[in-house]
Amino acid sequence: MAAKLTAPTRIAGKRHADVFPHPFKVVAVRRMVPVRWFGQSWGASVCDPVDHVETPAGENCTRCGEQLQATDTGVILPYASDPPASMPYHRNCYLREIIGSVGHQNGNCSCRDGGGGDPPGMTLREAADAAVTLFYTKETPAL
């Protein structure tokens, strides 16, 4: 016989945070090693002025491998290693990792047994720029 499902038991005298503290630890870790950003703000919540840093000019973008220039805009993700490292990205290269390729947005990629992905003949950075442009100009993103 299956166990009977019951509502969570309230523990007398305890607050939710005392019983389930982990979400609060995650917030604490995030604030210890925040996502930082550089260049001009693009209005995203990540663009908190306290997390703005000098552009890591001369370092290579984690996605496209091209060298970051002093005029570039982007983010620096923390990387949990020993010693801690960081991963700089051009803004569009980072967004490309979230929104997917042009092919993905058009529903024609390996996710759906399609052959599309980044447009042929483009560098990784050009393909990231194309993906972001498409994302912001499509009226109805493919699901």
Cα–Cα distance measured from residue 21 to residue 1, given in angstroms and rounded to the nearest whole number: 33
**Shortest reach from residue 111's CB to Zn ion, in Å:** 3
Verify binding: residue 109, Zn ion, rule CB under 5 A. yes
Q: Please select the residue that binds Zn ion; options are 38, 64, 127, 130, rule is CB under 5 A.
A: 64
Tokens of 122: 């483009």
Verify binding: residue 61, Zn ion, rule CB under 5 A. yes
Task: Give the residue among 122, 135, 121 at the shortest CA–CA distance from 91.
Answer: 135
Tokens of 105: 């947005």
Q: Please select the residue that binds Zn ion; options are 102, 104, 129, 132, rule is CB under 5 A.
A: 104
Site string for Zn ion, 124-143 (x = CB under 5 A): -x------------------
Q: Please select the residue that binds Zn ion; options are 36, 90, 91, 96, rule is CB under 5 A.
A: 90
Helix or strand run (H / E) with residue 24: helix 22-32
Cα–Cα distance measured from residue 95 to residue 103, given in angstroms and rounded to the nearest whole number: 15
Return the bridge partners of 76, or none.
Answer: 36, 88
Binding site for Zn ion (CB under 5 A): 61, 63-64, 90, 93, 104, 109, 111, 125
